């Protein structure tokens, strides 16, 4: 591995923090935001079903509409954009779209695809599994979005404090999806609050 590249990755991870105060004059273009989201879709997911959907609040009008649903947190309107991370409760419906191109290109045998499709279909008879998978896999994309945003010079904050039911109703979100978090994106005007991390010994068990 290239040492400089590895150091750059570690710098990004060490410098990322939750920013709640943004320069509201900084705009992020649709092209830049699309690039960040494209990188987010490179996140891993179970069976590669890609259990995420992004609702993007880019305009000032959209962010103002979101503001009361997010309990009037100022970062909603001060940030350059807010991305709602949704988890797909019916990611099994993506099976053919994910695997058929691989079969057609000769990268995957059709019988293997059918075996995988059977595994997926059986797993998704359990609604609890579907919900857990939606949260787990969409959260991987959320973290990837925050990392690539920091690498591109933007700051972020993951927001769990918003009215989920009101969000679903106000923005006509399909019941196929479950809202997981909001992520504000922009340029910080204040540093993050000082935070602490638990010692590794406290959060790990070695066997």
Angle at 137 between CA 198 and CA 167, to 5 degrees: 95
Tokens read off for 158:
């993951």
Whose structure tokens read 């570690």?
Answer: 10
- Give tens-digit pLDDT for 52-90: 999 999 999 999 999 999 999 999 999 999 999 999 999
Q: How far apart are CA 90 and CA 129, in angstroms?
A: 11
| Mean of pLDDT over the chain | 96
E strand or H helix that includes residue 84? strand 81-88
Model confidence band, residue 191 (pLDDT cutoffs 50, 70, 90): confident
**pTM (whole model) above 0.85:** yes
Q: What does the pLDDT read at residue 1?
A: 56
- Give tens-digit pLDDT for 140-181: 999 999 999 999 999 999 999 999 999 999 999 999 999 999
Give the SS3 label for residue 12. Answer: helix
Best CA proximity match to 146, nearest among 13, 8, 7, 48: 13
């Amino acid at each position: 591995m290239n040492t400089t590249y590895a150091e750059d990755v570690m710098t990004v991870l060490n410098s990322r923090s939750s920013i709640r105060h943004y320069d509201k004059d900084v705009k992020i273009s649709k092209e830049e935001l699309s690039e960040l989201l494209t990188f987010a879709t490179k996140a891993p997911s179970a069976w590669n079903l890609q259990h995420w959907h992004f609702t993007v609040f880019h305009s000032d009008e959209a962010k103002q509409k979101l503001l009361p649903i997010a309990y009037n947190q100022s970062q909603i309107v001060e940030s350059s954009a807010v991305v709602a991370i949704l988890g797909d409760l019916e990611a099994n419906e993506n099976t053919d779209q994910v695997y058929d191109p691989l079969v057609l290109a000769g990268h995957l045998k059709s019988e293997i695809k059918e075996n995988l499709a059977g595994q997926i279909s059986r797993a998704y008879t359990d609604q609890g599994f579907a919900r857990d998978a939606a949260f787990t896999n969409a959260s991987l994309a959320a973290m990837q979005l925050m990392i690539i945003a920091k690498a591109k010079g933007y700051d972020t904050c993951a927001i769990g404090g918003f009215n989920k039911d009101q969000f679903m109703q106000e923005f006509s979100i399909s019941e196929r999806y479950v809202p997981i978090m909001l992520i504000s994106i922009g340029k910080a005007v204040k540093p993050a609050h000082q935070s602490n991390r638990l010692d590794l010994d406290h959060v790990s068990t070695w066997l």
